[in-house]
């Protein structure tokens, strides 16, 4: 049996804080076995947009990506953030390879259709679209893909795509080849009962509990798409999903701590 694959997504304020990012990347580099890092863009794209006189527009925490914004996120996500992360991983003896979804056609997507909101150049990933064998080739040759939140439509257009969604889709695609764990790292200790109390962590959530927590408003806003992706990943074959603080990554994955929130398939 192949070694377990770790698919790790880093986002939130960690991307914006150089010291926290450096600490996280040192821990990530120390993970043994095959691994993939998916990163968000933090606030950098918004800051660059503002400097260029381009107003950032968000709806329910998701960026509206017009043509000018697409240029910015391509520069920031695919260039500045991605290559800085790759360089820092190389400094920690992790042989990283920075990619977008267009590189080697690893994440084909389709432009999101207009319904109530026109999100612009935003990509949705179809089930079964990711060519897992291409990523397996990289992993089997001891390369660590570092993937920016950009996909492509096969017609020459890049598409801005939610990094949580990319991480989930990659984990599902590769779960047919490797035993796979998906871990979402950010600046909180896990899913919280009280957003203002960092210690109010819910340590395990089942699908039924998740529905109840959404209905009573305990879980809301930006955490909902993250958890929706996570539960879909478990149902599709990913071994486990953990949501945790970036500082806890190494201890949790080495089973030295039970911190964070673990999502459980079924109601056992």
The number of helix segments (H) and strand segments (E) in the chain equals 9, 14
Its CATH architecture, for the domain 5-263, is: 3-Layer(aba) Sandwich (3.40)
Instruction: Map tokens 């989930």 to a residue.
Output: 168
Task: For residues 262 and 133, give the distance between their C-alpha atoms in angstroms, rounded to a whole number.
Answer: 28
Sign of CA dihedral 205, 211, 212, 216: positive
- Three-class SS of residue 193? coil
What does R_g of the chain's alpha carbons equal in angstroms?
18
Binding residues: 41-42, 63, 160
The answer to whether residues 98 and 83 touch, using CB atoms and an 8 Å cutoff, is yes
Taking each helix axis from N to C end, the angle separating 223-235 and 207-215, rounded to the nearest 10 degrees, works out to 160
Burial environment of residue 210 by CB neighbours within 10 A (0 to 12, 13 to 18, 19 or more): buried
Binding residues for substrate: 41-42, 63, 160
* pTM for the predicted model, two decimal places: 0.93
Give the strand pairing for 35-39 and 5-10.
parallel
- Which residues sit opposite 123 in a β-bridge? 111
pLDDT tens sequence for the chain (268 residues): 578 999 999 987 899 999 999 999 999 999 999 999 999 987 888 888 889 888 878 776 677 899 999 999 999 999 999 999 999 999 999 999 999 999 999 999 999 999 888 999 999 999 889 999 999 999 999 999 999 999 999 999 999 999 999 999 999 999 999 999 999 999 889 999 888 888 889 999 998 899 898 888 888 777 888 888 889 899 999 998 999 999 999 888 877 667 899 998 765 4
């Amino acid at each position: 049996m192949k070694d377990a694959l770790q698919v790790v997504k880093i986002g939130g304020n960690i991307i914006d804080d150089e010291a926290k990012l450096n600490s996280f990347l040192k821990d990530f580099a120390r993970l043994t076995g095959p691994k993939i890092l998916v990163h968000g863009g933090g606030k950098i794209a918004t800051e660059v947009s503002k400097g260029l006189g381009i107003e950032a527009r968000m709806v329910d925490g998701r960026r509206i990506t017009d043509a000018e914004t697409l240029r910015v996120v391509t520069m920031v996500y695919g260039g500045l953030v991605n290559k800085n992360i790759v360089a820092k991983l190389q400094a920690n003896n992790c042989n990283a390879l920075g990619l977008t979804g267009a590189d080697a056609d690893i994440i084909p997507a389709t432009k999101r259709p207009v319904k109530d909101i026109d999100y612009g150049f935003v990509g949705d990933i179809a089930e079964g679209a990711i060519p897992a064998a291409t990523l397996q080739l990289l992993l089997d040759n001891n390369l660590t893909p570092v993937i920016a939140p950009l996909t492509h439509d096969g017609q020459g257009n890049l598409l801005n795509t939610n990094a949580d969604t990319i991480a989930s889709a990659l984990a599902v695609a590769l779960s047919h080849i490797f035993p796979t764990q998906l871990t979402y790292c950010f600046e909180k200790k896990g899913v919280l009962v009280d957003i203002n109390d960092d210690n109010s962590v819910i340590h395990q959530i089942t699908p039924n509990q998740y529905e109840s927590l959404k209905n009573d408003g305990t879980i809301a806003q930006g955490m909902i798409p993250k958890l929706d992706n996570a539960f879909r990943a478990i149902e599709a074959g990913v071994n486990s999903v953990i949501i945790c603080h970036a500082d806890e990554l190494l201890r949790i994955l080495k089973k030295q701590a039970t911190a964070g929130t673990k999502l459980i398939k079924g109601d056992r």
